[in-house]
Each structure stands twice: as structure tokens, then as C-alpha cells.
């Protein structure tokens, strides 16, 4: 059975985070390390922090430092995600959403431009997985 959970993606900022919370959309942080952030650091290591959905530190640094093109980053990130049990991760997120009494979550990354952020690749992977009833959508505020 496909999950009915509505999954969105977006970037994290003080304004977007507050807007999602005001709209009863559960934030899920798909960033490896968030402890140093004044905005979201308090969520590091909590149930809504899913570093398993972020690129490896090496892959992230290679993209950030311009050592690889975006197409190579996307290809390698997809390979990394092929080792993740997406069904289990999604079931966990669905459970968290039910505890928050919502049917919507937003997967948050740091990149303002989703075409250059791993969340767009993850959205395509989730859409292709056949696990979701609804397509993943980017929320632009």
C-alpha cells in the first residue's frame, strides 16, 4: 500500500521554518550536521533530523568546493541513496507526522536553489520508488 503522506521539499531559514510550523507541516531536516546552526541546531540528533538522507561528507565537500559538476553529484548521491531503506525511513517519518497530527512533512535542506540541492534528487528518487501516493513537491515561499 502506498503512503498517503504528503511530502514537500524546501530550504530552511527562520522564515520558512516558522511558516511550515504555522501551517502544521512537520519539518524533517535532511542535512548531515546541523548542530552549529542557530536556527535548527537544537534539532540535531532528534527524530526529525534524518542525516541518513543527506549526501556523505566527502560527496558534499566535493560539490561545495566545485570539484565535481552537479550531474556527477546527482549520480553519486543517487548511488548513496540506493543503500538506504527508504521504506523504513518513510514509515518512521509517517509515524512522526501522525504524532504531530499532520499528513504533511517538508524535507529541508540548506540550498535555496532546489536544482542545486540534494533534496531535488531525493524528491525524484522518492517519486520513482512507488512508495508514495502523492508526488513530492517543492514549496516556494
pTM (2 d.p.): 0.95
Which residues are CB-contacts of 89 (< 8 A; sequence separation ≥ 6)? 50, 52, 53
Note down pLDDT in tens along the chain; length 141 residues: 899 999 999 999 999 999 999 999 999 999 999 999 999 999 999 999 999 999 999 999 999 999 999 999 999 999 999 999 999 999 999 999 999 999 999 999 999 998 989 999 999 999 999 999 999 999 998
Reading across the β-sheet that carries 6-11, which strands appear in turn? 26-29, 104-109, 6-11, 137-138
Give the C-alpha separation, 104 to 126, whole Å: 15
CB-count burial class (<10 Å; 0-12, 13-18, 19+) for 85:
exposed
The pLDDT value recorded for residue 1 is: 80
Amino acid at each position: 500500500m502506498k503512503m498517503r503522506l504528503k511530502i514537500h521539499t524546501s530550504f530552511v531559514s527562520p522564515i520558512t521554518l516558522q511558516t511550515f510550523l504555522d501551517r502544521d507541516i512537520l519539518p524533517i531536516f535532511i542535512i548531515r550536521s546541523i548542530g552549529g546552526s542557530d536556527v535548527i541546531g537544537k534539532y540535531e540528533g532528534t527524530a526529525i533530523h534524518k542525516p541518513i538522507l543527506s549526501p556523505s561528507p566527502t560527496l558534499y565537500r566535493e560539490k561545495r568546493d566545485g570539484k565535481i559538476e552537479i550531474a556527477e553529484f546527482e549520480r553519486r548521491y543517487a548511488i548513496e541513496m540506493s543503500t538506504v531503506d527508504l521504506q523504513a525511513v518513510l514509515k518512521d517519518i509517517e509515524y512522526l507526522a501522525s504524532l504531530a497530527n499532520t499528513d504533511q512533512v517538508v524535507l529541508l535542506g540548506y540550498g535555496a536553489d532546489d536544482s542545486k540541492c540534494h533534496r531535488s534528487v531525493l524528491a525524484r528518487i522518492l517519486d520513482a520508488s512507488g512508495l508514495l501516493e502523492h508526488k513530492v513537491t517543492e514549496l516556494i515561499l
